[in-house]
A and B are shown apart, each in its own frame.
Chain A
Amino acid sequence: MARYLAIRLSDLAIVLFGVSVIAFLMIRLIPGDAVEIMLGANAEVTDEQIALLRTRLGLDEPAITQYFAWIGNLLQGDLGTSLWTGVPVTQEIGGRIWVTLELSLLALLLSVVLAVPAGCAMAYFRSSAADYVIRVITIAGVTVPNFWLGALLIFLFFALFPSFPSVGWVDFSVDPLGNLARLLLPTIALAVPVLATLSRIARSAMLDSLGQDYIRTARSKGVSERAVVFKHALRNALIPFVTALGISAGYLFGGAIVVEQVFALPGLGRLMIGAIAERNYPLVQASILLVTATFVVINFVIDLAYAALDPRISLR
């Protein structure tokens, strides 16, 4: 276990390092640097002024020096300040991240609550007409473009309930009900593909688990059908399901970028697209690192939890 942990920890460090390098390089490789974008078409600027601005923003240093300065500050908890507003990056991100977090968590909650029973039902009634119908519906759910679903929901609610607040944002602390009402449609639009994917995974995990010997044993010693399905089968089907849950964290953020755009939500996705367009290096770097590191760490913790629970995993 100690050896397994050491390998996994070094892997985690390598991946986090690689992610930080890509986050750093990506924004710098985009043609047109921050200074060019800032000054725009302003023809009265002299070369000296441009050089001065570059020096002030620390952009005249070699890239490698800039990278290590960034990482050094990062390790001390300093993510830098936004190039455009001068506000600390943590503050800019902090103002937006709750929107994305609330949206993603609501979508995840909705997906899990519906996917587990749907998956169990499909597995239990496998090869029946109901199984086929739900399966085709889940495939449609996986392939429905979430921005289209969002637009259709807005249209539908506008036609049916003209006074319903479909788009825009109110903070939870200001108006809790208004906040949840405005998140209803975005949550559905973001959740449908995740819900469909998770219920398919729940189905196949349950099928696997229902076919095992211990299920036959449980049935033959007279355990009730209810206990067989929910206690013996479901519990053992959780491993692949929770793994899929970890992977879907990445999807949720990617989907949130698009859904925030459709519903005009002031989330992290819209902040990032704007920051990329204006080459706001510290802001882009910090938010990319935040999103990817969260994903990597969630999946690392899930892996580790399995190794702790199942001794066979660390032997591999």
Chain B
Amino acid sequence: MSAFASVARLGARLGLNARTLRRQPMVWVGGGLMLVQVLLALGAPVFAPYDPLAQDILARLQGPSGAHWLGTDQFGRDVLSRIIHGYRSSLAIAASAVAIALVIGGFLGVIAAVKGGWIDRIVMRLMDILFAFPIILLAIGIIAILGPGPVTTAVAIGVVYVPIFARLLRGPTLVIAASEYVAGARAIGAGTSRIIVSHILPNLVSVILVQASLSLSTAILVEASLSFLGIGTQPPDPSLGRMLAEARGYLLLSPWDSIFSGAAILLVSFGFNLFGDGLRDALDPRLRGSS
């Protein structure tokens, strides 16, 4: 109950209420998709009808049936169960990556804006340097250095996303830091850290929420691309990208596995993106009421 109350308080703070949200069906549809998939991921061992690693050689490459809703793969493993477990690892990696990027990138962006001067220049040039690398390429390099696995994949995607958060949060922080209430707080003796914590961060919550959900959506795709290239999650851990890479070899023989594993990636990424996009509209006062 208290969790619900604090969510409601946060919503009220951001100017979100039932009326603004009712106008944003995308938030509801995206949020619903997100919730279902997160719950499936969290309860994967309960929801998955089969062991995702259990092979049944006699039931290879089957199409959808009553026994296997989404069919079976080249080893007779249940595709639905592998997708549900795949969600678990995809979401865990994407969420850790976005958390890393948010904490480091957010810190750098806010500090750069508040301190200004040469600190700002150095930090932002470092961000430009990282940003110059194509996302996949830099992630491949970092994973090659750290070694493959879920943790290193999360770190690699996190590092790649750091400049996105730093650049995104620097702008609004500059505006807030130049505002009269921050000048007022400074005048009555508030220190830099106090100003950041009690005046700047609360005003960044909406930007962070929107960007975090959009970044989760793309981080899921990056993780899937890396596993597809054979660089991210390693066997035998189920991973949506690698499922697709393996299924591709049997595409012309039995397309079901490829179709469903790719659709699963699309659906989870789509849910987060739809939610983030709708939330941005709901939070933007300029768009409120105009539609």
Binding site for B on A (CB under 8 A): 11, 14-15, 18-19, 22, 26-27, 29-31, 126-127, 135-136, 139-140, 142-149, 151-152, 154-155, 158, 250-251, 253-255, 257-258, 261-262, 272-273, 276, 288, 291-293, 295-296
Check B102 for interface membership: any CB of A closer than 8 A.
no
Chain B hits for A258, CB < 8 A: 136, 225, 228-229
The total of chain B residues at the interface (CB under 8 A) is 45
In the bound assembly, the distance between CA atoms of A152 and B135 in angstroms comes to 24
From A22, A139, A255, A273, residue with most partner B Cβ within 10 Å: A139
Contacts of B261 in A (CB 8 A): 148
Task: Say whether B187 faces chain A, with CB atoms less than 8 Å apart.
Answer: no
Q: Which 7 interchain pairs have the tightest Cβ spacing? A: A148-B262, A254-B134, A18-B129, A143-B269, A254-B136, A292-B132, A26-B141
In the bound assembly, the distance between CA atoms of A19 and B259 in angstroms comes to 39
The answer on a CB contact under 8 Å between A151 and B129 is no
Main secondary structure of the interface of B (DSSP, over half): helix
Beyond A30-B145, A31-B147, A152-B262, whether A143 also contacts B217 by CB under 8 A is yes
Interface pair B147/A14, CB less than 8 Å apart = no
Residues of chain A within 8 A (CB-CB) of B224 are 145, 147
Q: Is the Cβ of B140 less than 8 Å from the Cβ of A276? A: yes
**Contact residues in B for A273 (Cβ distance below 8 Å):** 140, 229
B274 near A155: Cβ-Cβ < 8 Å: no
B251 is contacted by which of A30, A31, A151 (Cβ under 8 Å)? A151
Which single member of B126, B255, B265 contacts A18 (CB below 8 Å)?
B126
**In contact, B258 and A251 (Cβ under 8 angstroms):** no
B5 contacts chain A at the CB level, 8 A cutoff: no
- Report B126 CB to chain A, min CB distance, Å: 7
Would B258 and A142 count as touching, CB distance under 8 A?
no
State whether A142 touches B255 (Cβ < 8 A): no
In the complex, what distance in Å separates the CA atom of A273 from the CA atom of B129?
Answer: 21
Counting CB contacts under 8 A, is B128 at the interface?
yes
